[in-house]
Structure 1
Amino acid sequence: MTAPISQTLIDAANAYEALFVPALFRQWAPVVADAAKIGSGDRVLDIACGTGVLAREAATRSGQSGRVAALDPNAGMLTVARSLAPGIDWRDGAAEALPFPDRSFDVVVCQFGLMFFSDRDKAIREMLRVMVPGGRGAVAVWDAIENAPAFATLVDLLDKVAGKRAGDALRAPFVLGDRQALAALFKDAGADPINITSRGGAARFPDMREFVEAELRGWLPVMGVVLPEPQIDRLLAEAERVLARYVTHDGLSFAISAHLATWRRP
């Protein structure tokens, strides 16, 4: 019998879909789909799909003659994803052990998940395993944190107020920002030749406080860092000052860029 899914996980996934998808992730789905050249009839796998913004883009492009499967280890994310697009084959699973036969997919994509895999080499080898010969892969990772200035500013603030462990939790999404190291990771796993390109984007949050609270109360606990309320209050007050340059008439906006790794399986 399947255990019930925690309402806390579902609430967190709904908050992710409502805030982070429009603020950060939605703009990248067509970029990754273009890079992977997803077209009508393609069989597509989206790894670390979250609430499914990229999988939904892939389903639109592959059409009724295609097939889209999407994988994530977070039951709350998958619950929300299924409610938004029941026609996609949503799977619970890890990138390092894909629950699919060899040569199952024409296209494999992953949007901002590779940074968090426990064994990145094994995950890339699994991507290659499930791709058909000539199959296409496209993976997006964030550029170095220096190229996401608002995040860099918030990390500096965390280092000073809450300590390096808190700052490192927010650095984690940007750990694959070095293009040469990223290319070497794929080549060592057998994805060769690999093409790495960079693309600029923008993050747009409704307001500064919502952005900072989402990181402090949402992201940091996921990374095992729970801050005391007085410290959160101090960080929010300080953030008003250090992030003021990114506040616009309709919220908080700042530049952010990503790297795209693309390849074909021989």
Structure 2
Amino acid sequence: MSDAATHQLAAEGPAAYERYLVPAFFAECARQLVDLAAPQPNDRVLDVACGTGVVARAAEPLAAAVTGVDVDEDMLAVARSKSSGVGWLRGDATRLDLPDHSFDLVTGQQGLQFLPDRPAVVREWRRVLGPGGRIAVAMWRDARFHPQSAALSRAFEDHLGPEAGAALRAPFAGPRPKELRALFTDAGFASVRLRVGLVPVRFGSVAEMAEHEASATPAAPAFAAATEETRITIVDELAAELTDWVDDDGLTFPLVT
């Protein structure tokens, strides 16, 4: 989710993100994260880099209070339109304007990989946790585990330029498991558990994947500016590369956390 200036979306991006990518895979990722985090009825929950609020909304009925923080005001505008029961705040994940020890659970879905000073972020998360507090984070594994997304980023880079390709690679550029564990142990967490998760993805077609990923990511302007011929070429190349993942209902593959 969004919390880095380099990965903020264009004007229509947050609405497209909520409309296309949340049902395609972010909602299921949020469900799995909240199940693992297991918010309790008395918990005060903070969702950092909340984006349009899919995790915060999933936690809301289970906890005493939920706050969502994101640096992107356009993302928060969509979040506010979806739930009035969550407290939505604009803020920087490395400098949260929140009191010490004010939360019982901190969640972060697909945001940590976009933040350049990850140790500072994790220390800040620890600061706002009360005694016995806990953190639950979901982050995509690296590109080795996501050949479908790697194919999409290559096609965008080849036809739309390096910035478009980089925008689609960024979600898979987070720390690997050993580095991720060290982030939390170095911040003072005594118990750190890693768990591999599988999130099923479903698009109606290869073309739908390309269009929805483009419209809901920072690659949107480049894709919108491309000629129709270029967009068709991108889809044709992807379809040839992803044929093994196409069935009678469209395109499906797993994302790995």
Quick check: TM above 0.5?
yes
Deviations 1:47-83 (A, max 9, x none): 1111111101111111xxx010001111121111111
Contact 1:169 1:223 in 2 (8 A): no
User: Structure 1 106/185 Cα, relative in aligned 2: closer, same or farther at 3 Å?
Assistant: same
Deviations 1:182-237 (A, max 9, x none): 11222233334321111112111232112112333442437999874354442123
Structure 2 distance, partners of 1:165, 1:204, is 26
Alignment of 1:107-256 (within 5 A): 107-162=105-160, 165-176=163-174, 178-221=176-219, 228-229=226-227, 231-256=230-255
Contact 2:102 2:129 in 1 (8 A): yes
User: Structure 1 131/143 Cα, relative in aligned 2: closer, same or farther at 3 Å?
Assistant: same
Contact 1:59 1:88 in 2 (8 A): yes
Structure 1 distance, partners of 2:90, 2:222, is 22
Structure 2 distance, partners of 1:224, 1:182, is 32
CA RMSD of aligned residues (A): 2.4
Q: Secondary structure at the match of 1:58?
A: helix
Q: CA deviation at 1:16?
A: 1.1
- Equivalent AA in structure 2 for residue 207 of structure 1: S
Identity of aligned residues (%): 37
Structure 2 distance, partners of 1:162, 1:76, is 25
Structure 2 distance, partners of 1:103, 1:226, is 45
User: Structure 1 226/93 Cα, relative in aligned 2: closer, same or farther at 3 Å?
Assistant: farther
Q: CA deviation at 1:107?
A: 0.5
Q: TM-score, normalised by structure 1?
A: 0.84
Structure 2 distance, partners of 1:190, 1:223, is 42
**1:70 aligned residue:** 68
Structure 2 distance, partners of 1:123, 1:117, is 8
Q: CA deviation at 1:139?
A: 0.6
Contact 1:19 1:205 in 2 (8 A): no
Contact 1:9 1:75 in 2 (8 A): no
User: Structure 1 15/216 Cα, relative in aligned 2: closer, same or farther at 3 Å?
Assistant: closer
User: Structure 1 159/51 Cα, relative in aligned 2: closer, same or farther at 3 Å?
Assistant: closer
Q: CA deviation at 1:149?
A: 2.6
Structure 2 distance, partners of 1:240, 1:9, is 27
Structure 1 distance, partners of 2:114, 2:213, is 16
Contact 1:30 1:57 in 2 (8 A): yes
Structure 1 distance, partners of 2:15, 2:214, is 17
Structure 2 distance, partners of 1:82, 1:74, is 12
Deviations 1:132-177 (A, max 9, x none): 0110110110012222231122234345445655433322111125
User: Structure 1 129/225 Cα, relative in aligned 2: closer, same or farther at 3 Å?
Assistant: farther
Contact 1:142 1:173 in 2 (8 A): yes
Instruction: Give structure 1 stretches of 5+ with no counterpart.
Output: 1-7, 259-266
Q: CA deviation at 1:240?
A: 2.5
Instruction: Give structure 2 stretches of 5+ with no counterpart.
Output: 1-8
User: Structure 1 237/111 Cα, relative in aligned 2: closer, same or farther at 3 Å?
Assistant: same
- Between Structure 1 and Structure 2, the one with more strand by share is 1
